Structure 1
């Protein structure tokens, strides 16, 4: 294929709500030559003035291909006419090189208010599809362009919401009034380019993911659009969980680092955050809420989350030190418990864990525990045993999953780690998401206690998820290194994403 290839252009003049405007959409296939890339459309209307329209990433049908889309709506005003017939070309810039699709120097064209013009040789093509589901979306419209030369008898959508365990078939309808009903447009169906539009509607209810393919029955054959053999797929946003030890106010430029943490949560659209070494001024044991590090970070989010925090003991002779959970979703249940034998506010071996139960759309009830446990010799076995029992007691039939999150002070492969994973109850989620050998020096904790440890992977921060969970991890990455938001603690953070199985 060419490095960039036009699939179709849509050109309609809509008269809805008494507003006359022309909408132009361009859909293209791009070869993935590198992460840093730009795609745009250079176009002109009947006035001969050229414009540059930036395209945005849409989705990827394969690891080496990407869909990109550009759209513009031009309103008719007293001093501005509609573009009318247009000419255009596509440009793709990456790695210092430009690639063009300009119809071999002739430029593409599209007549005003003509509807869809398919330029690829594919006789059946999915048009205007989305790459994700919206919150609360229960219906998915499907629009298909069929070349009228194939004399289509019927168009059918074959779809599933459970990874093809069960399959549904939904017929599409052909209506000559399609463009008039949708846009109040004068475009014809089929139009002068031979594009015949068929429409279907899928009722998916509360499904997390939809997969589908399209068939077209013709007099002598059945044609398919299966997205280059990958089928079309769209789903809701995955659950994003972040863990981070905040280092109990011991960082230089501490306030700026709180802002960086908030920026990462905003940028990455994190849903759940589990913090350890959350601190606020001691204040004779009464604390000082305005100095609470989890509160400060939460207050700097675009929209503050639900926050639950509690403290275990005095830290660094001047702070109440504890743990916290931030949740985008309301917390249906909250609880804090000591898992250590010591409950003394003056002992660093006093360890309290906080728990929050939330309802995640399309996933159900999930229990999160934010924990900071002691080292092996200082009580880890007993603490984890209590934590595990507490979590098991809350793993009722209506709970989709349980995640134990935080700083466990056990390195991968150590005696403590084996105690957790060999219980056959929990799995290390970061390890499940990444192949062996991905851990570089920048990923490792800077805690002085572990500097002598020579293992290739000495993470001590984890998300352990129960094996009976209805979720599975889809990605895991390290955060707060020099590669992204910079160091904000003596620990790095981790971001993991989850979807229903």
Structure 2
């Protein structure tokens, strides 16, 4: 099974339409089974196509590009977390070519005001993989030092949904770097989560953010914010940073992470 997570920084990038096409081409090339996307936005003012999906939904446009490339297998589940930059409905998405048995979204933040940018929601799908149920979560959490919306509160709410008897992957931008001790990353491991990077047979530096980006305005360090966690031991063949200028072109202010797993 091949997995991808990427914070898209959607509609905040230069040459955005070209980057959408490029992301779709890489998805086709690498044939991912499940993709977790964060900062997947659509304009508040845009027309609805179906359900809660509007015409410029970033995931919808990726899926349309995939279909242009002859790839028709992918479905996606998206929901809005909050209003971003006053004009966008910013949300999270899980995309897969595997049969979706269930999907849901739920708040993990204290507040549920969609007009407030700190409001956090999770999207989740449950798929059937060779007769086995596996759950996948796309996550974008807050900061360790935020007293108003504490990371611990959000992560506890997230893992409360994870069923112990079932394999689950918690993927995304956790806004807590694996390079910083005794903060959010260590807390996630203390709660029993397993970082697929740590158990990968083959891996690179894992760095997904270099320097200053939105939310890390004073950062000068290399950070590993984008992570794939599992609730059980799995056989991880490799964990690689992608869209970093070395392994594919840069498409966002975050690099992505791809993981190959034997299940």
| TM-score (normalised: structure 1) | 0.47
Pair 1:434–1:318, CA change in 2 (3 A): farther
Whole-angstrom distance in 1 between the partners of 2:100 and 2:211 = 31
Higher CA-based Rg: 1
Gap regions ≥5 residues in structure 2: none
Match of 1:462 in 2: 227
Residue number in structure 1 paired with 2:34: 272
Within the candidate set 174, 181, 193, 1:426 is matched to 193
Structure 1 CA distance for aligned equivalents of residues 214 and 119 of structure 2: 21
* Cα distance in 2 for residues equivalent to 1:361 and 1:446: 42
- Structure 1 position 382, deviation (Å): 0.3
The aligned runs of 1:6-25 (5 Å cut-off) are none
Match of 2:254 in 1: 491
RMSD of aligned C-alpha atoms? Answer: 2.3
How far did residue 273 of structure 1 move? 0.3
SS of equivalent residue, structure 1 residue 439? coil
TM-score normalised by L of structure 2: 0.88
Runs (5+) with no aligned partner, structure 1: 1-238
**CA distance in structure 1 between the partners assigned to 2:37 and 2:247 by the alignment:** 19
Q: Which residue of 2 aligns with 1:356?
A: 125
CA contact (8 A) 1:445 1:459 kept: no
**Are 2:208 and 2:223, in contact at CA under 8 Å, matched by a contact in 1?**
no
Rounded to whole Å, the distance in 2 between the matches of 1:476 and 1:366 is 19
Please report how far the alpha carbon of residue 309 of structure 1 lies from its aligned counterpart in structure 2 after TM superposition: 0.6
- Closer, same or farther in 2 for the Cα pair 1:442/1:359, shift >3 Å? closer
CA shift in 2, pair 1:272/1:440, >3 Å: closer
Tell me how far apart the structure 2 counterparts of residues 285 and 346 of structure 1 sit (CA, whole Å): 19
Structure 1 residue 450: Cα displacement: 3.2
The answer to whether the aligner puts 1:374 opposite 2:145 as a matched pair is no
From the superposition, tell whether residues 288 and 422 of structure 1 become closer, same or farther in structure 2 (CA, over 3 Å). Answer: closer
2:241 matches 1:473: no
* Offset of residue 444 of structure 1: 3.5
More strand by share: 1
1:453 Cα deviation after fit: 4.0
Q: Is the 8 A contact 1:443 1:478 kept in 2?
A: no
Relative distance call for 1:355 and 1:288 in structure 2 (3 A) is closer
1:337 aligns to what? 106
- How many residue pairs get aligned? The number is 251
Distance 1:380 1:441 in 2: 21
